[in-house]
Amino acid sequence: MIKKGLVRTQLIICIIISSLILSTIGSYAQLNNTGSYGGYTISTVSTFGGYQSLIDRDLTSGEPAYDYSVHLIKTGEDTGERYRSFTGGRWKSAKGDGDHILQYTSEYGLANTWGMWSSEPEFWQGQEDGITNTWYSNNVLEPEVLLAADGKWLMYTQVEIDPGAPIDIAGQTAVTAADRVMLLTSTDCKTWTRKTDSGVVKNITNPNVTMLHHQEVIYVPWDSTGRPYWMYVAVNVNNVFQGYVRIRSNDYTSFDYSARETVVGVQQIGNQMGYLQEAANGPLFVRITFTTSGDRTVPALQYSSDGLNWGGITNTLEGSTDNVNNKNCYFLGISTLNGRGALQYLGNNQWKAKYAASTSNTSGAPEIYYSEIGMGDVTISLS
């Protein structure tokens, strides 16, 4: 999170859509890449539609806008191929000015076909709703959205808590940055109700000096302990980065920090996880992230057999080719079915997904203020 308030009939239809898909893919560079992990040879074929092919939003109420922290899901309603993207970005209005969660959607997930689901953020900051001096008053970013087992939509976001501001324990204030993970629920993936009593991570050892940020959440129905909601979250204590932990829970409203497990090998922060559920040797976890290739930062994939111990970068994907303000890729998302984690299976040991990246020259200010969102397609093959 940028710690700053101003910081974005059917046969004919099938033929048309198929032609559009083919012409779209054919117009972009294709990258084939092969690596190995866990006894598999893993091959990817990827294309990228351009640095602003998902979101091209230069201004908000006449001021510079920016877009980052992208999360992708496939919901499939009405067309069978609908995708939704949840991003963080600057939104200025009569209510305020700062970081918000925005939803974009596309009937078929094609580049340059995405539009905002409505004309405003998914929800307002607490202070914009007139609720000041509380733990959820300030900026929000890093959305993670999934469909729960009970049919509710869940959105987990990082909420900014600065030193001196209230934390989510009555009567206590932050000594250092003490961001929390906030939960919102919905029945339609649009109208959200905020959980206001506290953040979802409980029993934090040193709550006044602990910052929880860049969470990644999946639903793992085969969890052997009966805790299918897995939250990965980065931890800072006294402003010092401590790495990622995994917290598993059978209750999506509460994750016990004292039951955290240390995650090994996660590359970068602010990305998205999923899994190849049909893999021959059991589900294989996959995570999109970013890595350096030449003079650019490009999308990349890493894998894990248990979701706790992660291998290094196995595949690199096609990224931005812009040479002005948006040459690199950061804070990526990869589409999973209803946000739970499963990538779409094609059969024959192949999976497909959309992926998206915040494009900018760096991941920090002031370059990040020029960030847009670009998207691509990837096919993953195991042998």
- For residue 53, give the nearest of 70, 37, 39, 38 by alpha carbon: 70
Is pLDDT of 26 > 60? no
Residue 271 has pLDDT above 90, yes or no: yes
Number of domains in the chain: 1
The answer for residues whose C-beta is within 8 angstroms of residue 44's C-beta and 6 or more apart is 31, 32, 33, 34, 301, 315, 317, 378, 379, 380, 381
Within a domain: 330: yes
| 257 φ/ψ angles, rounded to the nearest 5 degrees | -60, -30
- Within-domain flag for 3: no
Interval 66-92: pLDDT, tens: 999 999 999 999 999 999 999 999 999
What's residue 296's pLDDT? 97
Percent of the chain with pLDDT over 70: 93
Instruction: Please indicate, yes or no, if residue 2 is contained in any of the structural domains.
Output: no
The answer to whether 96 touches 7, Cβ cutoff 8 Å, is no
56: CB partners within 8 A, 6+ apart: 372
**Residue 281 is part of which domain span?**
10-382
Q: Determine the pLDDT at residue 340.
A: 98
Confirm whether 204 is domain-assigned. Answer: yes
CATH at 252: 2.115.10.20
Average pLDDT on 117-124 reads: 95
Query: H-type helices in the chain, by residue range?
Result: 10-26
pLDDT at 18 over 70: no
- State how far Cα 346 lies from the chain centre: 23
For residue 108, report the phi and psi dihedrals to the nearest 5 degrees.
-130, 5
DSSP state of 167: -
User: Tens digits of per-residue pLDDT, 335-373?
Assistant: 999 999 999 999 999 999 999 999 999 999 999 999 999
Length of the chain: 383
Residue at 324 is within a domain:
yes
5 class by beta-carbon count within 10 Å (0-12 exposed, 13-18 middle, 19+ buried): middle
Task: Give a yes or no: residue 20 inside a domain.
Answer: yes
Strand, helix or coil at 367? helix
Residue 329: what pLDDT?
98
Asked whether residue 5 is assigned to any structural domain, the reply reads no
Answer whether residue 191 is part of any domain. yes
